[in-house]
Amino acid sequence: MKLKVTVNGIAYSVEVEVEEEQRTLAPIVFGGGTGVHTEPSNAKVSGTSLNAIVAPLAGSVFKVLVEEGDEIEAGQVVLILEAMKMETEITAPNAGTVTRLHVAPGDAVQGGQALLEIT
């Protein structure tokens, strides 16, 4: 490649070789550990029933829109969670009756925690 370069007001014609940059991928290792020993956590997750509606993420209960004994429709909003100043509507996966509420407004919840049960 030829370039024109001016130094102190004097123009020079310069020929430059440009080498192609060769990129190689680093090896990908599956199942490799970091060699750091980690202790098992003592996080508690309570079991849930097959009829439970669970929290999809960690947050706090902003509003509970149903009560025990209420008949609900599939897709009905039953609860609102708040996480990082965003509200998430929790909907019923199917129609049924609310048999048990596990949370109240203001409660902190973890992802996967049972919020309420329907039959």
C-alpha to C-alpha distance for 104 and 63, rounded to whole angstroms? 8
pLDDT of residue 34: 58
**30, 46, 90 from 69: Cα distances, Å:** 50, 23, 18
Report the candidate in 103, 105, 99 with the shortest Cα–Cα distance to residue 117. Answer: 99
CATH 2.40.50.100 fits 52-118, yes or no: yes
Q: What is the pLDDT of residues 9-60, one digit of tens each?
A: 898 898 888 777 776 766 766 665 555 555 555 555 455 567 889 999 999 9
How many angstroms separate the CA atoms of 11 and 80, rounded? 71
Q: Give the pLDDT band (50/70/90) at residue 70.
A: very high
Residue 24: Cβ-neighbour burial (10 angstroms; 0-12, 13-18, 19+) = exposed
Q: In 3-state terms, what secondary structure has residue 70?
A: coil
- pLDDT, tens only, 89-110: 999 999 999 999 999 999 999 9
CA distances from 79 to 29, 69, 96, 97 (A): 43, 15, 15, 15
Structural contact between residues 112 and 43, judged by C-beta atoms closer than 8 angstroms: no
- What average pLDDT does the segment 109-116 reach? 91
User: Roughly how many angstroms between the first and final C-alpha of the chain, as a whole number?
Assistant: 76
| Structure confidence at residue 71 (pLDDT) | 95
| Residue 41, pLDDT score | 52
pTM, entire model? 0.58
pLDDT at 1 over 90: no
Would you place residue 69 in the very low, low, confident or very high pLDDT band (cuts 50, 70, 90)? very high
